[in-house]
Every structure is written in C-alpha cells, then in structure tokens.
Amino acid sequence: MSAVIVSGKELASEKRAFIKTEVQKLVADRQTQPGLAVILVGDDPASHSYVRAKQRACEEAGMQCILEHYPETLTEKELLERITFYNQEKTVHGILVQLPLPKHINELAVIERISPEKDVDGFHPVNIGKMMIDQQAFLPCTPYGIVEMIKSLNIPIAGKHVVVIGRSNIVGKPVGQLLLKEDATVTYCHSRTKDLSSITKQADILIAAVGKAKLIGPDYVKEGAIVIDVGVNRLETGKLCGDVDFDTVKEKASYITPVPGGVGPMTITMLLQNTLQSAQKIGRANKTFS
C-alpha cells in the first residue's frame, strides 16, 4: 500500500487564505499593512527564484514587499546600514536578508544586526534562545512549516520517536527542538553517525535534511513511518528531487512529502505568518500608545 502524499501546496493554500483575511482585518481595523523588506545581494539563480516566490506570496496576501537587490560588490558595512535603516522603519514589520551571502560578508553579523522584533526568518540568536526555553519568539520558517504539516495529519506527536537527519542551524537543530516541545523523543543523526540506517529504522517520524539526492531509500525507513523530505537537489537531468528516494520509500511509509510541492510552500507560508504576527504586535502597540 502506497503512502499518503502530504501536499505542502494544499496546506499552504489553506493557511495563506487565512493570512490574507487577517491582513485585511489589520488594514481595516488599525490601518496597518504588514510590510516585509527583502534584501538580495548578488546574482545566485536559486536566490533570485526564492525571492521572487516570497515577493509574489506577500503581494497575494495583501502585504507590502520591498525588494532591494544589490550587486555582489556590496560591502558588509553597506548591508548592515540598510538593515539598521529598516530596523527603524515603522512601515516595515519584517526583514529578510536572502542567504547565502557573498563570502566577504559575515552572515552571523548580518543576522545579529536584524532586530529580533523584525526577524521573521527566526534566525536571530535571541529568537533561537527564546525558542529553546519555550518563550514566545519568531520560529524558523522551515521547521515551523514541518511541524504544521505533521500536525495537519491529526496524528499525536507526543511519545513518537522522531529521527532528524541533519544538524544545520536553519532546519535540523530547530525542528528537533520544536518536536521535543510537542513531547516527541528526538534523535539527531549526521555525517559522523555510525550505522545510520539502524537508527533511522526506529523512527516513527523521519525528517531528512541533509542535501544529498535520494540518500534515504526503503532500507532506512520503518514500515508505516511518516517521512518528511526537506532536501532540494537538482539531478543532472535538471529535475528536482529530495533527500528521499520517493518512488521506493512511498511503498513503505504511511505518509510522505514530495519534492517539489512538499515542505517548500510551507516555508514561505510561515514567513508570511511571522510577518503578520509582527505587524499585529506592532499595530497593537501603536494603537495603545498613539
């Protein structure tokens, strides 16, 4: 029996419709239109594609999206100055600097310059720290989207064994922490893990986030597991695929996400959600103290 395919597109569409309604309410009730500033440095084709998708999603939700595109020669000092400007700009509720950045720019310095109150990517150490101790914070968009996808299945997370393959600061580490908060038992695997398949086969929920095309085959998956594929890899044919060998694993899993059309649409959706929440919070403050 083949797995149920968990469509990120469908879930994202439902959530974006709700977000659009909330944006309309915010504009009508508080004259506040959520605003997102996006800064792109250089001409990486993938980054351009991601930024276009984010800009389109913002506009469809009724949000303002300010896009600034700079050449790769932009200095770190100049980039930090633009971030400082948007930190102080009242019509901007979220700031996103598209990664990766050119090698001469320190990514950590850039992330730390963004105000935690406008860090809608959820990368600032303050937000990561708050997430770790269960305080309210902007959650990293991809992990946030993954948890929402799992919850949409209406299967209890509490008590489940989650195995995360990958330990990046953007996906692997935070998604494990968010699922730990949902009372799952979480195991991390990575490039130094010995006998990887013996661990992954224990997973009730398997999350692959390593960036290696079709690394995870059926021998890595327990019968009936939920498989979430975060990887986006381009084959020599030009076709996109995930870290999971979809065609073989779907015969063993109970639920599986496709690539493309799985986690990706949810990442952008949670970016919109974070931007909306920022605008709602700032809107309340402006209404209270004006």
The CATH number covering residue 82 comes to 3.40.50.10860
pLDDT of 95 > 50? The answer is yes
Same domain, 207 and 248: yes
Hey, CA dihedral for 261, 263, 267, 270, is it positive or negative? positive
Residue 55 placed within a domain: yes
Residue 211 placed within a domain: yes
Same domain, 43 and 85: yes
Same domain, 187 and 111: no
- Taking a C-beta distance cutoff of 8 angstroms, is the pair 188, 176 a contact? yes
Q: What per-residue confidence (pLDDT) applies to 282?
A: 77
98 classed as catalytic: yes
Same domain, 152 and 249: yes
Residue 272 placed within a domain: no
How far the first Cα of the chain sits from its last, in Å, is 60
Determine which one of 15, 98, 204, 273 is catalytic: 98
Same domain, 146 and 105: no
181 classed as catalytic: no
Q: Which domain holds residue 180?
A: 141-264
pLDDT of 160 > 50? The answer is yes
Same domain, 152 and 240: yes
Same domain, 221 and 148: yes
Q: Where on the phi/psi map is residue 80: left (φ > 0), alpha (ψ -120 to 50), or beta? A: alpha
Structural domains counted in the chain: 2
When pLDDT is cut at 50, 70 and 90, the band that residue 1 belongs to is low
The CATH number covering residue 213 comes to 3.40.50.720
pLDDT of 25 > 90? The answer is yes
Same domain, 108 and 197: no
DSSP H helical segments within the chain, as ranges?
8-30, 45-60, 76-88, 107-113, 125-132, 141-151, 172-181, 196-200, 246-249, 263-289
Of 80-84, 235-239, 277-281, the least confident: 235-239
Residue 190 placed within a domain: yes
Same domain, 145 and 260: yes
Between strands 233-234 and 240-241, the pairing is antiparallel
pLDDT of 286 > 90? The answer is no
Same domain, 213 and 154: yes
Residue 60 placed within a domain: yes
Residue 172 placed within a domain: yes
Same domain, 106 and 169: no
Determine which one of 15, 118, 119, 121 is catalytic: 121
pLDDT of 54 > 50? The answer is yes
Please name which of 73, 77, 70 lies closest in space to residue 103, comparing C-alpha atoms. Answer: 73
Residue 93 placed within a domain: yes
Contacts of 274 by beta carbon, 8 Å cutoff, 6+ apart: 94, 120, 121, 122, 138, 139, 141, 144
- Taking a C-beta distance cutoff of 8 angstroms, is the pair 270, 145 a contact? yes
| Distance from chain centroid for Cα 84 | 24
Two structure tokens written together for 123:
């990368």
When pLDDT is cut at 50, 70 and 90, the band that residue 290 belongs to is very low
Binding annotation:
166-168, 232
Determine which one of 54, 173, 250, 252 is catalytic: 54
Same domain, 189 and 96: no
Two structure tokens written together for 44:
């990486």
List C-alpha distances in Å: 232 to 25, 115, 118, 194, 199.
Answer: 36, 29, 27, 24, 23
173 classed as catalytic: no
CA atoms of 247 and 35, how far apart (whole Å) = 41
Binding annotation for NADP(+):
166-168, 232
What one-character-per-residue DSSP string does 142-207 give? HHHHHHHHHHTTT---TT-EEEEE---TTTHHHHHHHHHHTT-EEEEE-TT-SSHHHHHTT-SEEE
Instruction: Give the number of other Cβ atoms within 10 Å of residue 219's Cβ.
Output: 12
Mean pLDDT value of segment 33-37: 98
Please name which of 37, 141, 129, 122 lies closest in space to residue 87, comparing C-alpha atoms. Answer: 37
Residue 134 placed within a domain: no
pLDDT of 288 > 50? The answer is no
